[in-house]
């Protein structure tokens, strides 16, 4: 698992995504927050977007196994 900065961990804790929520992340970057959110979702979904196709691909790869 890639390293997740403390500030990202803090932000996800503050948002406190629940297992069935539908979440939109705008500006996902390399996917650190998306990874943590996906670990919490069971029946919910995350839609992450970024203006960089490279960032979106990194996010997809990073969150695919969660």
Q: What is the pLDDT along the chain (66 residues), one digit of tens a residue?
A: 568 999 999 999 999 999 999 999 999 999 999 999 999 999 999 999 999 999 988 888 887 755
**The predicted structure's pLDDT at residue 1:** 54
- CB 24 within 8 Å of CB 50: no
Based on DSSP, count helices (H) and strands (E) in the chain, helices before strands.
3, 2
Instruction: Give the burial string for 44-63 (b: 16+ CB within 10 Å, else e).
Output: eebebebeeeebbebbeebb
């Amino acid at each position: 698992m890639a390293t997740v900065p403390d500030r990202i961990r803090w932000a996800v804790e503050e948002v406190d995504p629940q297992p069935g929520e539908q979440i939109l992340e705008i500006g996902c970057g390399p996917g650190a927050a998306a990874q943590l959110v996906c670990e919490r979702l069971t029946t919910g979904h995350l839609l992450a977007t970024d203006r960089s196709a490279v960032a979106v691909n990194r996010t997809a790869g990073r969150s695919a196994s969660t």
